[in-house]
Amino acid sequence: MATTNNNEGVWLPAPGGINLAMTLESGQVFHWQAQGAGFTGVIGRCGVYVEQRNDGLFCACDKADIVSHYFALDVDLEAIRATFPEDPVLREATCYCDGVRILRQPVWECLATFMTTIQKQVSHIRAISRALRSRYGDSVDGGFDGLFAYPAPAELAQAGEEALRACGLGYRAKFLARTAEIVASGGIDLEELKERGDSEVRAALCSLPGVGIKVANCVLLFAYGRLSSFPIDVWIERILRGIYLKKSRRKVTPQVMADFAARHFGTYGGYAQQYLFHHARCTWRNQHKLSGRKNLIR
């Protein structure tokens, strides 16, 4: 499928389109940096430069397979959108997020990173990721100065709670240190979980310190490729309570929200969630400021 332009680079088509910048800045991954016409980042242990060209990605030939898998270029966004319910709120978010893809991130990296997203702004999360990578991660080869792989569980376990705290993790340092230790010592096999069903993976992840239902669902979605997984954070909760479940007679509990989401958004609820989340963050910000205080909804 890929078209080789020359010995150096290759163009990879993205069925249903891709918006590289928005994909990398939509709050599912936190370490990519804009550089020139594209972005540099690390996929696993591999430094990568990618550039959007029309409805596809351009990258070095020897990175094609890695890039293709990471950006899920085998997934047809058109087909996913076709499964969405007819719903004006989702339609607007989907339109706004045209070309945003759910990545396939390495499991440990995704799990550890989302443990650090608890009660943190995206800019903080990026800073923490940068600190952890540069202090405890291996540098990647191939002329990518300043790029580091995400530290392995053993490396973070060895670093210890206090050292992690020094990376700006706050009270999350204890969680990450303990979970890193469990993973490093084989107390849980993150790779083996790929063979298990959603609920089993979710339960296994939730057994780790610092991992609750929201983080677990993020890992299911962004690392295990479970595209129906629907993480409910403060933004999504506002949308569900304030719009979709506004007239609900029942008390809107987390279970009620999860059940509604599964039923309403369907097989690719995770994509719907990401679009709703990113659209809300980008467009409600102004209203949030203008309204002077407090959530509009809730």
Nearest to 34 by CA among 12, 51, 14: 51
Distance of alpha carbon 182 from alpha carbon 209, whole angstroms: 9
Is residue 296 within 8 Å of residue 280, measured between CB atoms? Answer: no
Please tell me whether residue 36 adopts helix, strand or coil conformation.
coil
Nearest to 277 by CA among 118, 99, 107, 94: 94
Q: How far is the CB of 289 from DNA (least distance, A)?
A: 7
Distance of alpha carbon 129 from alpha carbon 194, whole angstroms: 24
Instruction: For residue 19, state whether it binds DNA (rule: CB under 7 A).
Output: no
For DNA, the closer of residues 34 and 37 by Cβ is 34
For DNA, the closer of residues 49 and 150 by Cβ is 150
List the one residue from 235, 258, 262, 266 that touches DNA (CB under 7 A).
Answer: 235
List the one residue from 214, 220, 224, 271 that touches DNA (CB under 7 A).
Answer: 214
Cα–Cα distance list, 246 to 20, 95, 230, 254, 283 (Å) = 34, 23, 19, 14, 20
Instruction: For residue 10, state whether it binds DNA (rule: CB under 7 A).
Output: no
List the one residue from 18, 156, 215, 261 that touches DNA (CB under 7 A).
Answer: 215
Inter-helix orientation angle 198-206/213-222, to 10°: 130
For DNA, the closer of residues 47 and 109 by Cβ is 109
Span 238-297, contacts to DNA by CB under 7 A: 251, 253, 255, 273-274, 277-278, 281, 289, 293-295
Nearest to 233 by CA among 130, 87, 117: 117
For DNA, the closer of residues 10 and 257 by Cβ is 257
Q: How far is the CB of 251 from DNA (least distance, A)?
A: 6
Span 168-197, contacts to DNA by CB under 7 A: 168-171, 174-175
Span 25-54, contacts to DNA by CB under 7 A: 26-28
Instruction: For residue 231, state whether it binds DNA (rule: CB under 7 A).
Output: yes
The count of chain residues that interact with DNA, using the rule CB under 7 A, is: 49
**152 Cβ contact partners less than 8 Å away, ≥ 6 residues apart:** 108, 184
Span 71-130, contacts to DNA by CB under 7 A: 117-125, 127
Task: Please tell me the chain's helix, strand, coil percentages from 3-state DSSP, rounded to the nearest 5.
Answer: 50, 10, 40
Residues that bind DNA (CB under 7 A): 26-28, 117-125, 127, 165, 168-171, 174-175, 206, 208-216, 218, 231-236, 251, 253, 255, 273-274, 277-278, 281, 289, 293-295
